Structure 1
Amino acid sequence: MAREHRTPLKRVSHGSLSALARSTSADNGPTGLDFLEPAFTEFADEAAAMHRNIERMGDLYETLETFNESFCSFLYALNMNAYTVEWPQAPRPDISFKLGEERAEQVAARAAAQRTPAPSSPPPESAQTDTRETSPGIDAEAAQEDDPVRATSRASTSAPAKGRPGAKPKMTVKEKKERAVAVEKVINILPLEYRGSEPRLRDHMETIVSKLMDAPKGLRITDCASPPEITQARANKCLIALVARKVAKKSSAGGAALYTWVGIP
Protein backbone atom coordinates (compact mmCIF):
# COMPACT_ATOMS: atom_id res chain seq x y z
CA MET A 1 0.00 0.00 0.00
CA ALA A 2 1.41 3.34 -1.09
CA ARG A 3 2.12 5.93 1.63
CA GLU A 4 -0.40 8.79 1.73
CA HIS A 5 1.02 12.18 0.87
CA ARG A 6 0.27 14.80 3.54
CA THR A 7 1.12 17.97 1.65
CA PRO A 8 -0.19 19.12 -1.73
CA LEU A 9 3.31 19.68 -3.10
CA LYS A 10 4.32 16.03 -2.70
CA ARG A 11 1.50 14.98 -4.99
CA VAL A 12 2.98 17.00 -7.85
CA SER A 13 6.65 16.37 -7.07
CA HIS A 14 9.14 15.16 -9.65
CA GLY A 15 8.82 11.56 -8.54
CA SER A 16 5.04 11.59 -8.65
CA LEU A 17 5.01 13.03 -12.15
CA SER A 18 7.46 10.35 -13.36
CA ALA A 19 5.40 7.58 -11.80
CA LEU A 20 2.26 9.04 -13.33
CA ALA A 21 3.89 9.19 -16.74
CA ARG A 22 5.08 5.57 -16.56
CA SER A 23 1.73 4.24 -15.34
CA THR A 24 -0.26 6.04 -18.00
CA SER A 25 -0.99 4.24 -21.25
CA ALA A 26 0.05 5.70 -24.53
CA ASP A 27 -1.47 9.10 -25.01
CA ASN A 28 -3.07 10.01 -28.27
CA GLY A 29 -2.54 13.72 -27.72
CA PRO A 30 -0.29 15.77 -29.97
CA THR A 31 2.18 16.59 -27.18
CA GLY A 32 1.91 13.51 -25.02
CA LEU A 33 1.49 15.63 -21.85
CA ASP A 34 -2.21 15.19 -21.28
CA PHE A 35 -1.49 13.19 -18.12
CA LEU A 36 -0.39 16.45 -16.45
CA GLU A 37 -3.86 17.99 -16.61
CA PRO A 38 -5.32 16.33 -13.46
CA ALA A 39 -2.08 16.94 -11.54
CA PHE A 40 -2.05 20.63 -12.41
CA THR A 41 -5.74 20.90 -11.60
CA GLU A 42 -5.07 19.64 -8.09
CA PHE A 43 -2.01 21.88 -7.90
CA ALA A 44 -4.12 24.92 -8.84
CA ASP A 45 -6.75 24.06 -6.23
CA GLU A 46 -4.14 23.63 -3.51
CA ALA A 47 -2.37 26.84 -4.54
CA ALA A 48 -5.68 28.72 -4.34
CA ALA A 49 -6.34 27.24 -0.87
CA MET A 50 -2.84 28.23 0.24
CA HIS A 51 -3.40 31.75 -1.09
CA ARG A 52 -6.65 32.05 0.87
CA ASN A 53 -4.91 30.83 4.04
CA ILE A 54 -2.12 33.36 3.55
CA GLU A 55 -4.69 36.13 3.15
CA ARG A 56 -6.39 35.02 6.37
CA MET A 57 -3.03 35.03 8.14
CA GLY A 58 -2.51 38.59 6.90
CA ASP A 59 -5.92 39.60 8.28
CA LEU A 60 -5.07 37.91 11.58
CA TYR A 61 -1.76 39.78 11.70
CA GLU A 62 -3.52 43.12 11.20
CA THR A 63 -6.07 42.24 13.89
CA LEU A 64 -3.32 41.28 16.34
CA GLU A 65 -1.43 44.48 15.53
CA THR A 66 -4.53 46.57 16.27
CA PHE A 67 -5.09 44.66 19.51
CA ASN A 68 -1.47 45.14 20.54
CA GLU A 69 -1.69 48.89 19.99
CA SER A 70 -4.92 49.11 22.00
CA PHE A 71 -3.56 46.96 24.81
CA CYS A 72 -0.32 48.95 24.94
CA SER A 73 -2.36 52.14 25.23
CA PHE A 74 -4.34 50.59 28.07
CA LEU A 75 -1.17 49.55 29.92
CA TYR A 76 0.35 53.00 29.39
CA ALA A 77 -2.78 54.64 30.81
CA LEU A 78 -2.65 52.36 33.85
CA ASN A 79 1.01 53.20 34.38
CA MET A 80 0.41 56.95 34.13
CA ASN A 81 -2.60 56.64 36.41
CA ALA A 82 -0.51 54.87 39.03
CA TYR A 83 2.06 57.68 38.94
CA THR A 84 -0.38 60.61 39.00
CA VAL A 85 -3.42 59.47 41.03
CA GLU A 86 -3.38 58.65 44.73
CA TRP A 87 -6.26 56.31 45.40
CA PRO A 88 -7.86 56.69 48.85
CA GLN A 89 -9.09 53.71 50.76
CA ALA A 90 -12.59 52.76 49.67
CA PRO A 91 -15.15 53.30 52.45
CA ARG A 92 -16.77 50.23 53.93
CA PRO A 93 -20.50 49.98 54.72
CA ASP A 94 -19.88 50.05 58.48
CA ILE A 95 -17.23 52.79 58.26
CA SER A 96 -18.44 55.62 56.04
CA PHE A 97 -17.94 59.35 55.88
CA LYS A 98 -21.25 59.88 57.65
CA LEU A 99 -20.06 57.70 60.51
CA GLY A 100 -16.87 59.74 60.66
CA GLU A 101 -18.84 62.98 60.97
CA GLU A 102 -20.97 61.50 63.74
CA ARG A 103 -17.86 60.41 65.61
CA ALA A 104 -16.33 63.84 65.24
CA GLU A 105 -19.47 65.36 66.75
CA GLN A 106 -19.38 62.85 69.60
CA VAL A 107 -15.73 63.64 70.30
CA ALA A 108 -16.46 67.37 70.30
CA ALA A 109 -19.39 66.88 72.69
CA ARG A 110 -17.29 64.63 74.94
CA ALA A 111 -14.45 67.16 74.99
CA ALA A 112 -16.89 69.95 75.82
CA ALA A 113 -18.31 67.88 78.67
CA GLN A 114 -14.81 67.29 80.03
CA ARG A 115 -14.01 70.99 79.88
CA THR A 116 -17.19 71.95 81.78
CA PRO A 117 -16.16 72.73 85.40
CA ALA A 118 -17.71 70.54 88.08
CA PRO A 119 -20.04 72.40 90.49
CA SER A 120 -18.18 73.18 93.68
CA SER A 121 -19.85 72.17 96.94
CA PRO A 122 -21.20 75.19 98.90
CA PRO A 123 -19.38 75.99 102.15
CA PRO A 124 -21.12 74.86 105.35
CA GLU A 125 -22.43 78.28 106.40
CA SER A 126 -25.65 76.98 107.93
CA ALA A 127 -23.88 75.53 110.97
CA GLN A 128 -22.06 78.78 111.56
CA THR A 129 -25.29 80.75 111.25
CA ASP A 130 -27.02 78.49 113.74
CA THR A 131 -24.16 78.96 116.18
CA ARG A 132 -24.47 82.70 115.94
CA GLU A 133 -28.20 82.57 116.48
CA THR A 134 -27.94 80.40 119.61
CA SER A 135 -25.20 82.56 121.15
CA PRO A 136 -26.38 86.20 120.90
CA GLY A 137 -23.67 87.29 123.33
CA ILE A 138 -20.92 87.14 120.71
CA ASP A 139 -19.45 90.50 120.06
CA ALA A 140 -20.32 92.04 116.67
CA GLU A 141 -16.74 93.07 116.07
CA ALA A 142 -15.57 89.46 116.42
CA ALA A 143 -18.14 88.42 113.83
CA GLN A 144 -16.90 91.13 111.47
CA GLU A 145 -13.34 89.89 111.93
CA ASP A 146 -14.43 86.33 111.12
CA ASP A 147 -16.02 87.35 107.81
CA PRO A 148 -12.73 88.36 106.10
CA VAL A 149 -11.10 85.17 107.39
CA ARG A 150 -13.87 83.05 105.92
CA ALA A 151 -13.74 84.98 102.66
CA THR A 152 -9.99 84.48 102.44
CA SER A 153 -10.26 80.76 103.17
CA ARG A 154 -13.09 80.38 100.65
CA ALA A 155 -11.03 82.17 97.99
CA SER A 156 -8.02 79.99 98.74
CA THR A 157 -10.08 76.81 98.41
CA SER A 158 -11.80 77.93 95.21
CA ALA A 159 -8.58 79.13 93.53
CA PRO A 160 -7.14 75.62 93.06
CA ALA A 161 -10.47 74.46 91.69
CA LYS A 162 -10.24 77.08 88.93
CA GLY A 163 -6.68 76.07 88.17
CA ARG A 164 -7.44 72.38 87.73
CA PRO A 165 -6.65 71.05 84.25
CA GLY A 166 -10.08 69.41 83.97
CA ALA A 167 -11.97 72.66 84.55
CA LYS A 168 -11.83 74.58 81.26
CA PRO A 169 -14.13 77.16 79.71
CA LYS A 170 -16.99 75.83 77.67
CA MET A 171 -16.46 75.89 73.91
CA THR A 172 -18.81 77.61 71.51
CA VAL A 173 -20.45 75.83 68.59
CA LYS A 174 -17.90 77.32 66.18
CA GLU A 175 -15.01 76.20 68.36
CA LYS A 176 -16.49 72.70 68.57
CA LYS A 177 -16.66 72.47 64.78
CA GLU A 178 -13.10 73.74 64.41
CA ARG A 179 -11.89 71.28 67.01
CA ALA A 180 -13.68 68.39 65.28
CA VAL A 181 -12.10 69.35 61.94
CA ALA A 182 -8.64 69.61 63.53
CA VAL A 183 -9.00 66.22 65.21
CA GLU A 184 -10.21 64.66 61.95
CA LYS A 185 -7.13 65.96 60.11
CA VAL A 186 -4.87 64.40 62.72
CA ILE A 187 -6.71 61.06 62.51
CA ASN A 188 -6.37 60.99 58.72
CA ILE A 189 -2.55 61.01 58.87
CA LEU A 190 -2.37 58.17 61.39
CA PRO A 191 -2.11 54.46 60.49
CA LEU A 192 -5.18 52.56 59.29
CA GLU A 193 -6.01 51.06 62.68
CA TYR A 194 -6.63 54.56 64.05
CA ARG A 195 -8.68 55.64 61.01
CA GLY A 196 -11.54 53.20 61.39
CA SER A 197 -10.44 49.58 61.30
CA GLU A 198 -10.79 49.59 65.11
CA PRO A 199 -13.60 52.01 66.06
CA ARG A 200 -12.84 51.92 69.80
CA LEU A 201 -9.17 52.71 69.19
CA ARG A 202 -10.20 55.65 67.01
CA ASP A 203 -12.45 57.02 69.77
CA HIS A 204 -9.63 56.71 72.29
CA MET A 205 -7.22 58.48 69.95
CA GLU A 206 -9.67 61.35 69.41
CA THR A 207 -10.08 61.74 73.17
CA ILE A 208 -6.31 61.84 73.76
CA VAL A 209 -5.78 64.33 70.93
CA SER A 210 -8.42 66.63 72.45
CA LYS A 211 -6.73 66.39 75.84
CA LEU A 212 -3.35 67.29 74.37
CA MET A 213 -4.84 70.26 72.52
CA ASP A 214 -6.30 71.54 75.79
CA ALA A 215 -2.99 71.20 77.67
CA PRO A 216 -0.35 73.53 76.19
CA LYS A 217 2.09 72.64 78.99
CA GLY A 218 1.87 68.94 78.15
CA LEU A 219 0.42 65.84 79.76
CA ARG A 220 1.78 62.64 81.22
CA ILE A 221 0.57 59.17 80.36
CA THR A 222 -1.45 59.01 83.56
CA ASP A 223 -3.19 62.26 82.61
CA CYS A 224 -4.15 60.88 79.18
CA ALA A 225 -5.43 57.58 80.57
CA SER A 226 -8.93 57.35 81.99
CA PRO A 227 -9.57 53.79 83.22
CA PRO A 228 -11.44 51.62 82.59
CA GLU A 229 -12.28 53.06 79.17
CA ILE A 230 -8.73 54.14 78.25
CA THR A 231 -6.09 52.10 80.03
CA GLN A 232 -2.55 53.32 80.50
CA ALA A 233 -1.28 50.82 77.92
CA ARG A 234 -3.82 52.05 75.35
CA ALA A 235 -2.91 55.68 76.09
CA ASN A 236 0.79 54.87 75.68
CA LYS A 237 0.09 53.22 72.31
CA CYS A 238 -1.83 56.26 71.06
CA LEU A 239 0.87 58.66 72.26
CA ILE A 240 3.58 56.64 70.52
CA ALA A 241 1.62 56.88 67.24
CA LEU A 242 1.25 60.66 67.66
CA VAL A 243 4.97 61.09 68.36
CA ALA A 244 5.82 58.94 65.32
CA ARG A 245 3.73 61.26 63.11
CA LYS A 246 5.41 64.29 64.75
CA VAL A 247 2.12 65.84 65.87
CA ALA A 248 3.20 65.45 69.50
CA LYS A 249 6.59 65.86 71.18
CA LYS A 250 7.94 63.67 73.93
CA SER A 251 10.16 65.15 76.62
CA SER A 252 11.20 64.34 80.17
CA ALA A 253 10.08 66.32 83.21
CA GLY A 254 10.94 65.17 86.72
CA GLY A 255 11.94 61.71 85.55
CA ALA A 256 8.58 61.13 83.81
CA ALA A 257 7.66 61.34 80.12
CA LEU A 258 5.80 64.51 79.18
CA TYR A 259 3.88 64.76 75.90
CA THR A 260 3.29 68.19 74.36
CA TRP A 261 0.99 68.97 71.44
CA VAL A 262 2.77 70.22 68.29
CA GLY A 263 0.16 69.93 65.57
CA ILE A 264 0.31 68.79 61.96
CA PRO A 265 3.69 69.88 60.49
Structure 2
Amino acid sequence: MALDFTEPFTERTARIVHAAKLHKAKERHKAGKFIIEGENAVDAAVSTGAATDVFVTEAAAQRFDYILTAAGYMGVFVHPITEGAAKYLSDTITTTGLFALCRPVLWSAGKILAGSPRLVSVPVLTSEPGNAGTLIRTSDAMGADGVIFAGETVDPLGCKVARASAGSLFHVPVARERNIADVIGQLRKAGMQILASAADGEVDVADADLSQPTAWLFGNEAHGLGALLEEADVRVRIPILGRAESLNLATAASICLYESARALNSHP
Protein backbone atom coordinates (compact mmCIF):
# COMPACT_ATOMS: atom_id res chain seq x y z
CA MET A 1 0.00 0.00 0.00
CA ALA A 2 1.37 3.42 -0.98
CA LEU A 3 1.62 5.85 1.94
CA ASP A 4 0.50 9.44 1.55
CA PHE A 5 2.56 11.93 3.55
CA THR A 6 0.72 14.96 2.16
CA GLU A 7 -1.49 15.42 5.22
CA PRO A 8 -0.70 18.78 6.86
CA PHE A 9 2.03 18.42 9.50
CA THR A 10 -0.05 20.02 12.26
CA GLU A 11 -2.97 17.62 11.71
CA ARG A 12 -0.67 14.59 11.62
CA THR A 13 1.06 15.71 14.81
CA ALA A 14 -2.22 16.28 16.64
CA ARG A 15 -3.41 12.82 15.64
CA ILE A 16 -0.22 11.20 16.94
CA VAL A 17 -0.30 13.15 20.22
CA HIS A 18 -3.91 12.09 20.78
CA ALA A 19 -3.05 8.43 20.09
CA ALA A 20 -0.09 8.48 22.49
CA LYS A 21 -2.34 9.68 25.32
CA LEU A 22 -4.24 6.40 25.11
CA HIS A 23 -1.45 4.65 27.01
CA LYS A 24 -3.14 6.12 30.09
CA ALA A 25 -6.29 4.39 31.37
CA LYS A 26 -8.00 7.73 32.08
CA GLU A 27 -7.52 8.85 28.50
CA ARG A 28 -8.73 5.52 27.13
CA HIS A 29 -11.93 5.82 29.13
CA LYS A 30 -12.40 9.43 28.03
CA ALA A 31 -11.80 8.74 24.34
CA GLY A 32 -13.61 5.41 24.18
CA LYS A 33 -10.64 3.89 22.33
CA PHE A 34 -7.39 2.11 23.14
CA ILE A 35 -4.04 1.74 21.39
CA ILE A 36 -2.21 -1.46 20.50
CA GLU A 37 1.11 -2.25 18.85
CA GLY A 38 2.57 -5.19 16.96
CA GLU A 39 1.78 -7.55 14.12
CA ASN A 40 -0.40 -10.12 15.92
CA ALA A 41 -2.46 -7.60 17.87
CA VAL A 42 -3.05 -5.22 14.95
CA ASP A 43 -3.80 -8.06 12.54
CA ALA A 44 -6.44 -9.45 14.93
CA ALA A 45 -7.93 -6.01 15.58
CA VAL A 46 -8.26 -5.29 11.87
CA SER A 47 -9.66 -8.70 10.94
CA THR A 48 -12.28 -8.63 13.71
CA GLY A 49 -13.43 -5.09 12.94
CA ALA A 50 -12.21 -3.60 16.22
CA ALA A 51 -9.62 -1.28 14.64
CA THR A 52 -10.62 2.19 13.47
CA ASP A 53 -7.18 3.60 12.59
CA VAL A 54 -3.76 2.18 11.81
CA PHE A 55 -0.48 4.08 12.17
CA VAL A 56 2.48 2.69 10.25
CA THR A 57 6.03 3.66 9.31
CA GLU A 58 7.29 3.24 5.76
CA ALA A 59 9.46 0.27 6.75
CA ALA A 60 6.63 -1.40 8.64
CA ALA A 61 4.29 -0.87 5.72
CA GLN A 62 6.53 -3.05 3.57
CA ARG A 63 6.71 -5.78 6.24
CA PHE A 64 3.01 -5.78 7.05
CA ASP A 65 1.49 -4.96 3.68
CA TYR A 66 -1.08 -7.75 4.08
CA ILE A 67 -2.44 -6.07 7.20
CA LEU A 68 -2.73 -2.72 5.45
CA THR A 69 -4.51 -4.37 2.53
CA ALA A 70 -7.00 -5.93 4.95
CA ALA A 71 -7.39 -2.56 6.66
CA GLY A 72 -8.35 -1.04 3.32
CA TYR A 73 -11.02 -3.68 2.78
CA MET A 74 -12.35 -3.11 6.31
CA GLY A 75 -12.58 0.67 5.90
CA VAL A 76 -9.85 1.34 8.48
CA PHE A 77 -8.02 4.66 8.17
CA VAL A 78 -4.27 4.20 7.58
CA HIS A 79 -1.92 6.99 8.70
CA PRO A 80 1.75 7.06 7.68
CA ILE A 81 4.15 8.12 10.44
CA THR A 82 7.87 8.70 10.79
CA GLU A 83 10.25 6.50 12.78
CA GLY A 84 10.42 9.26 15.38
CA ALA A 85 6.65 9.30 15.74
CA ALA A 86 6.65 5.51 16.11
CA LYS A 87 9.09 5.76 19.04
CA TYR A 88 6.80 8.39 20.58
CA LEU A 89 3.76 6.13 20.22
CA SER A 90 5.49 2.97 21.45
CA ASP A 91 5.85 1.78 25.04
CA THR A 92 8.68 -0.60 24.11
CA ILE A 93 12.41 -0.04 23.56
CA THR A 94 12.28 -1.41 20.01
CA THR A 95 9.13 -0.51 18.11
CA THR A 96 7.52 -2.50 15.32
CA GLY A 97 6.29 0.70 13.69
CA LEU A 98 2.74 -0.67 13.49
CA PHE A 99 -0.10 0.55 15.74
CA ALA A 100 -3.88 0.59 15.78
CA LEU A 101 -6.58 2.52 17.57
CA CYS A 102 -9.47 0.27 18.56
CA ARG A 103 -13.00 0.42 19.84
CA PRO A 104 -13.45 -1.04 23.35
CA VAL A 105 -13.88 -4.81 23.14
CA LEU A 106 -14.61 -5.70 26.78
CA TRP A 107 -17.70 -7.73 27.59
CA SER A 108 -19.66 -7.80 30.83
CA ALA A 109 -19.35 -10.86 33.06
CA GLY A 110 -23.09 -11.38 32.70
CA LYS A 111 -22.86 -11.54 28.92
CA ILE A 112 -20.06 -14.11 29.06
CA LEU A 113 -21.96 -16.27 31.55
CA ALA A 114 -25.29 -16.01 29.73
CA GLY A 115 -24.11 -18.35 26.99
CA SER A 116 -23.90 -21.53 29.11
CA PRO A 117 -20.07 -21.48 29.24
CA ARG A 118 -18.11 -24.65 29.98
CA LEU A 119 -14.75 -23.10 30.84
CA VAL A 120 -14.01 -19.64 32.23
CA SER A 121 -10.80 -18.11 33.58
CA VAL A 122 -11.13 -15.74 36.53
CA PRO A 123 -7.85 -13.94 37.29
CA VAL A 124 -8.27 -12.17 40.64
CA LEU A 125 -6.39 -8.94 41.46
CA THR A 126 -3.94 -9.58 38.61
CA SER A 127 -1.43 -6.73 38.50
CA GLU A 128 1.16 -7.78 35.91
CA PRO A 129 0.27 -6.87 32.29
CA GLY A 130 2.39 -9.70 30.89
CA ASN A 131 0.63 -12.29 33.02
CA ALA A 132 -2.78 -10.84 32.17
CA GLY A 133 -2.06 -11.02 28.45
CA THR A 134 -0.67 -14.54 28.72
CA LEU A 135 -3.80 -15.66 30.61
CA ILE A 136 -5.97 -14.28 27.83
CA ARG A 137 -3.83 -16.00 25.20
CA THR A 138 -3.82 -19.34 27.03
CA SER A 139 -7.57 -19.18 27.65
CA ASP A 140 -8.11 -18.58 23.94
CA ALA A 141 -5.81 -21.47 23.00
CA MET A 142 -7.60 -23.85 25.38
CA GLY A 143 -11.02 -22.95 24.01
CA ALA A 144 -12.26 -21.11 27.11
CA ASP A 145 -15.54 -19.28 26.76
CA GLY A 146 -14.27 -16.16 28.47
CA VAL A 147 -11.87 -14.45 30.85
CA ILE A 148 -13.25 -12.39 33.74
CA PHE A 149 -10.73 -10.19 35.53
CA ALA A 150 -12.07 -9.76 39.07
CA GLY A 151 -11.20 -7.01 41.55
CA GLU A 152 -8.77 -4.14 41.09
CA THR A 153 -6.78 -5.62 38.23
CA VAL A 154 -4.57 -4.33 35.47
CA ASP A 155 -6.59 -2.87 32.58
CA PRO A 156 -7.09 -5.59 29.93
CA LEU A 157 -7.09 -2.86 27.27
CA GLY A 158 -3.62 -1.65 28.19
CA CYS A 159 -1.10 -1.87 25.35
CA LYS A 160 1.19 -4.28 27.23
CA VAL A 161 -1.71 -6.65 27.96
CA ALA A 162 -2.89 -6.58 24.36
CA ARG A 163 0.62 -7.27 23.10
CA ALA A 164 1.14 -10.18 25.51
CA SER A 165 -2.19 -11.67 24.41
CA ALA A 166 -0.80 -11.89 20.83
CA GLY A 167 -4.18 -11.00 19.34
CA SER A 168 -6.29 -13.21 21.62
CA LEU A 169 -7.80 -10.12 23.28
CA PHE A 170 -9.87 -9.84 20.09
CA HIS A 171 -10.75 -13.55 19.88
CA VAL A 172 -11.97 -14.58 23.33
CA PRO A 173 -14.57 -12.62 25.37
CA VAL A 174 -12.84 -10.64 28.14
CA ALA A 175 -14.54 -8.83 31.03
CA ARG A 176 -13.36 -6.76 33.97
CA GLU A 177 -15.53 -6.63 37.09
CA ARG A 178 -14.25 -4.89 40.23
CA ASN A 179 -16.75 -6.52 42.62
CA ILE A 180 -15.25 -9.95 43.32
CA ALA A 181 -18.21 -11.14 45.40
CA ASP A 182 -20.55 -10.28 42.55
CA VAL A 183 -18.42 -12.27 40.10
CA ILE A 184 -18.50 -15.31 42.41
CA GLY A 185 -22.26 -14.97 42.71
CA GLN A 186 -22.70 -14.82 38.94
CA LEU A 187 -20.53 -17.91 38.47
CA ARG A 188 -22.68 -19.87 40.91
CA LYS A 189 -25.88 -18.61 39.30
CA ALA A 190 -24.56 -19.83 35.95
CA GLY A 191 -24.20 -23.32 37.43
CA MET A 192 -20.42 -23.50 37.21
CA GLN A 193 -18.24 -25.31 39.70
CA ILE A 194 -15.59 -22.96 41.10
CA LEU A 195 -12.08 -24.32 41.39
CA ALA A 196 -9.07 -22.50 42.82
CA SER A 197 -5.46 -23.10 41.98
CA ALA A 198 -3.62 -23.40 45.31
CA ALA A 199 -0.23 -24.76 46.32
CA ASP A 200 -1.76 -26.52 49.31
CA GLY A 201 -4.96 -27.66 47.60
CA GLU A 202 -6.63 -30.86 48.76
CA VAL A 203 -6.93 -32.43 45.28
CA ASP A 204 -4.27 -32.97 42.60
CA VAL A 205 -5.19 -31.44 39.26
CA ALA A 206 -4.98 -34.92 37.66
CA ASP A 207 -7.64 -36.22 40.09
CA ALA A 208 -10.07 -33.29 40.00
CA ASP A 209 -13.45 -33.73 38.30
CA LEU A 210 -13.05 -31.38 35.35
CA SER A 211 -15.77 -32.87 33.17
CA GLN A 212 -18.39 -30.33 34.25
CA PRO A 213 -18.60 -26.57 33.54
CA THR A 214 -15.73 -25.01 35.45
CA ALA A 215 -14.58 -21.54 36.46
CA TRP A 216 -10.95 -21.34 37.58
CA LEU A 217 -9.89 -18.73 40.14
CA PHE A 218 -6.27 -17.64 39.71
CA GLY A 219 -4.76 -15.48 42.44
CA ASN A 220 -2.60 -12.39 42.54
CA GLU A 221 1.04 -12.92 41.58
CA ALA A 222 2.37 -11.99 45.03
CA HIS A 223 -0.47 -12.79 47.46
CA GLY A 224 -2.46 -15.58 45.82
CA LEU A 225 -6.18 -15.81 46.55
CA GLY A 226 -6.04 -15.41 50.33
CA ALA A 227 -9.47 -15.67 51.94
CA LEU A 228 -11.08 -16.21 48.53
CA LEU A 229 -9.83 -19.80 48.65
CA GLU A 230 -12.81 -20.48 50.89
CA GLU A 231 -15.16 -19.46 48.07
CA ALA A 232 -13.97 -22.31 45.87
CA ASP A 233 -15.79 -25.61 45.71
CA VAL A 234 -12.45 -27.37 45.42
CA ARG A 235 -8.87 -26.17 45.91
CA VAL A 236 -6.63 -27.84 43.35
CA ARG A 237 -2.87 -28.28 43.58
CA ILE A 238 -0.30 -28.90 40.87
CA PRO A 239 2.30 -31.36 42.18
CA ILE A 240 5.87 -30.04 42.11
CA LEU A 241 8.06 -33.01 41.17
CA GLY A 242 11.37 -31.19 40.95
CA ARG A 243 13.11 -28.71 43.24
CA ALA A 244 11.25 -25.59 42.11
CA GLU A 245 9.57 -23.86 45.03
CA SER A 246 6.46 -22.92 43.07
CA LEU A 247 4.98 -22.12 39.66
CA ASN A 248 4.24 -18.61 38.49
CA LEU A 249 0.68 -17.51 37.79
CA ALA A 250 0.72 -17.91 34.02
CA THR A 251 2.32 -21.37 34.14
CA ALA A 252 -0.07 -22.69 36.79
CA ALA A 253 -3.06 -21.31 34.87
CA SER A 254 -1.84 -22.94 31.65
CA ILE A 255 -1.69 -26.37 33.30
CA CYS A 256 -5.13 -26.02 34.91
CA LEU A 257 -6.79 -24.80 31.73
CA TYR A 258 -5.17 -27.53 29.64
CA GLU A 259 -6.41 -30.23 31.99
CA SER A 260 -9.91 -28.73 31.93
CA ALA A 261 -9.96 -28.47 28.15
CA ARG A 262 -8.80 -32.09 27.84
CA ALA A 263 -11.49 -33.32 30.21
CA LEU A 264 -14.26 -31.30 28.60
CA ASN A 265 -13.33 -32.47 25.12
CA SER A 266 -13.38 -36.05 26.36
CA HIS A 267 -16.92 -35.53 27.71
CA PRO A 268 -18.75 -33.33 25.15
The structure having more radius of gyration, on CA atoms, is 1
TM-score by length of 1: 0.21
- Structure holding more helix per residue: 1
Name the structure, 1 or 2, with higher relative contact order (CA <8 Å, separation 6+): 2
